[in-house]
Copies of this chain bind each other. A is one copy, B any other.
Amino acid sequence: SAVDGIATVAKKTFTATDKNPVRLKEGVDYVVIDTGDPIPDEYDCVIMVEDLIWVSQDEVEIIKPAIPWQNIRQIGEDIVEGQLILPQSHRIRPADIGALIAGGVFEVEVYKKPKVAIIPTGTEIVEPGEELKVGDIIEFNSRVFAAQVEEYGGIPTRFDIVKDDFEKLKDVVDQASREYDIILLNAGSSAGREDYSKKVIETLGEVYIHGVAIKPGKPVILGKVNNKPIVGIPGFPVSAYFIMENIVKKLVNFVQGYDRKDKRYIEATLSKRIMSSPKYLEFVRVKLGFIDGKYIAAPIERGAGTTMSLVRADGVLEIPEELEGYEKGTRVNVNILKSEDEIKNTILCIGSHDLILDIAADLLAKRGKFTLSSAHVGSMGGILSLKDRETHFATIHLLDVETGEYNKSYIKRYIPNRKIALIKFVKRIQGLMVKKGNPLEINSLEDIVKKGARFVNRQKGSGTRILLDYELKRLGINPKDIIGYEREEYTHISVAAQIAKG
């Protein structure tokens, strides 16, 4: 039965009306029946409990006729012998499990989840939490790989770090290739002096490919050892990420008989020109904003080592080989790393960096729904993004060197004839950052030249740079006399990091 009620014979109810109800007796005319109960052969319909008027414990009245077969559903539902429940090479979803069991299929032959060995190598890498000596690098790639392999449907095992010792690495790889289905060897895959990966694979098996035309990710090694596929993955986190997403994922899926594409793309407008080498398929991380009803893609850092760029990225623009890049304003397909809903609920800020943006982002995230995403390109970059409708708001601090006034004249000059709200947010005093204790005793811009101090600058177009150049001119200092004037960083924090480093 499809409902709770009574099973009866439809014919007996044909005369039932409001004024002339039909009375039925349990055992004689009907049996009480529940959802899912089978219908005894002598009955041909079910009347739901809501349509029954109980006149006694075992008698009911009906005031409208039942139709034969009403509320009756077959046992085994719509699955019958010989019918195809699932085709071959199908990835079983939760609902499929129900159909299989309902169809009497309690066992299916499946591809096994591949066991993936992840072997971090390198004398300079140390486990998180170990004491760091100069030159040490904390190992984290293997942890990222493990999470990715799990996402792809494999079973990851992280190995201990193997120092750069040819025989040791050979033994570990040999052993792993006997016990695991796929081997990932991390770091040492470019042509450096400690690159044992390639030699190890050549000694134990075969190297098929060393280097592919993708960027980041170029120096990957593909080979086999004891008939198991082995991938030598570059050490730089971003290179490693793209090799995982574009090669290892396919491999893990392939051995499971699954080769469908599941990257998701949206169409977006490129916020600035982007150059690419025609020799490579290049993956460019982008921020995505949903502004005035369309997606805007703003390229972010392209370095291979910047893990934060992957955290900040909302999507990846794939620039094919043979293309030299895209012009600003081009409509491009972007592989999205977040859901469209998340991207649409992201408030985009492009402009000058300030620590308060991080605090605001954190507080906003706590409240749910919206997230704040900021790209730090300096004040002028912010104004231009606002002009081109590529950001929801811009953080700026731009000194008008003629009037000494901030911001207003820039907005009027760059974004005329449009209503722009200028909100005074935080006031800040700018100064010089020096090493702890100010060992060189730098107390003015003149001191930088006088003491021959090494300087790190902010990029052209940043509010800080405009202020600096204004002050240098006022003081009659030639920028060429400042060591490192050409060395530009995009945020105050990056500048601080350079200073801390020495």
Within A100-153, the residues touching B (CB, 8 Å) are: 100-102, 104, 106, 122, 124, 128-129, 134-135, 137-141, 143-145, 147-148, 151
The segment out of A73-81, A289-297, A466-474 that lies at the interface is A73-81
A229 CB-CB contact with B under 8 Å: no
* Among B49, B124, B261, contact of A192 (Cβ-Cβ < 8 Å): B49
Contact present for B36 and A137 (CB under 8 Å):
yes
Name which residue of chain B comes closest to A361, CB basis.
B87
Interfacial chain B residues near A36, Cβ < 8 Å: 122, 124, 137, 187, 235-236
Report the separation of the CA atoms of residues A345 and B261 in the bound assembly, to the nearest whole angstrom.
11
Report the separation of the CA atoms of residues A87 and B194 in the bound assembly, to the nearest whole angstrom.
38
Contact present for B75 and A339 (CB under 8 Å):
no
A315 CB-CB contact with B under 8 Å: no
Contact present for A79 and B308 (CB under 8 Å):
yes
Q: Quote the shortest CB–CB distance from A279 to chain B (angstroms).
A: 14
Report the separation of the CA atoms of residues A95 and B147 in the bound assembly, to the nearest whole angstrom.
9
Contact present for B365 and A89 (CB under 8 Å):
yes
Within A313-372, the residues touching B (CB, 8 Å) are: 337, 339-342, 345, 355, 358-359, 361-362, 364-366, 368, 371
Report the separation of the CA atoms of residues A366 and B88 in the bound assembly, to the nearest whole angstrom.
6
A65 CB-CB contact with B under 8 Å: no
Report the separation of the CA atoms of residues A306 and B80 in the bound assembly, to the nearest whole angstrom.
12
* Given the contacts A122-B36, A128-B106, A83 and B192 also touching, CB distance less than 8 Å: no
* Given the contacts A89-B365, A99-B311, A94 and B144 also touching, CB distance less than 8 Å: yes
Q: Could you tell me how many residues of chain A have their Cβ less than 8 Å away from some Cβ of chain B?
A: 112
A41 CB-CB contact with B under 8 Å: yes
Contact present for A496 and B80 (CB under 8 Å):
yes
Contact present for A87 and B362 (CB under 8 Å):
yes
Q: Mark A239-267, 1 if CB is under 8 A from B, else 0.
A: 00100000000000000000111101000
Name which residue of chain B comes closest to A500, CB basis.
B80
* Among B94, B101, B135, contact of A38 (Cβ-Cβ < 8 Å): B135
Interfacial chain B residues near A500, Cβ < 8 Å: 80
A203 CB-CB contact with B under 8 Å: no
Contact present for B73 and A261 (CB under 8 Å):
no
Contact present for A98 and B307 (CB under 8 Å):
yes
A85 CB-CB contact with B under 8 Å: yes
Report the separation of the CA atoms of residues A500 and B355 in the bound assembly, to the nearest whole angstrom.
74
* Among B102, B310, B368, contact of A138 (Cβ-Cβ < 8 Å): B102
Name which residue of chain B comes closest to A241, CB basis.
B95
Report the separation of the CA atoms of residues A472 and B82 in the bound assembly, to the nearest whole angstrom.
30
Contact present for A101 and B339 (CB under 8 Å):
no
Contact present for A501 and B75 (CB under 8 Å):
yes
**26 contacting pairs across A/B (C-beta < 8 A):** A4-B193, A36-B187, A41-B502, A74-B494, A77-B237, A78-B301, A78-B303, A79-B308, A82-B355, A84-B358, A84-B359, A84-B361, A85-B308, A88-B365, A89-B365, A94-B147, A96-B311, A97-B143, A97-B147, A98-B140, A101-B140, A101-B143, A106-B128, A259-B368, A260-B341, A261-B341
User: Which residues on A are within 8 Å of B, measured CB to CB?
Assistant: 2-4, 32, 34-38, 41, 49, 68-69, 73-80, 82-90, 93-102, 104, 106, 122, 124, 128-129, 134-135, 137-141, 143-145, 147-148, 151, 187, 190-195, 234-237, 241, 259-262, 264, 301, 303-311, 337, 339-342, 345, 355, 358-359, 361-362, 364-366, 368, 371, 486-487, 493-494, 496-498, 500-502
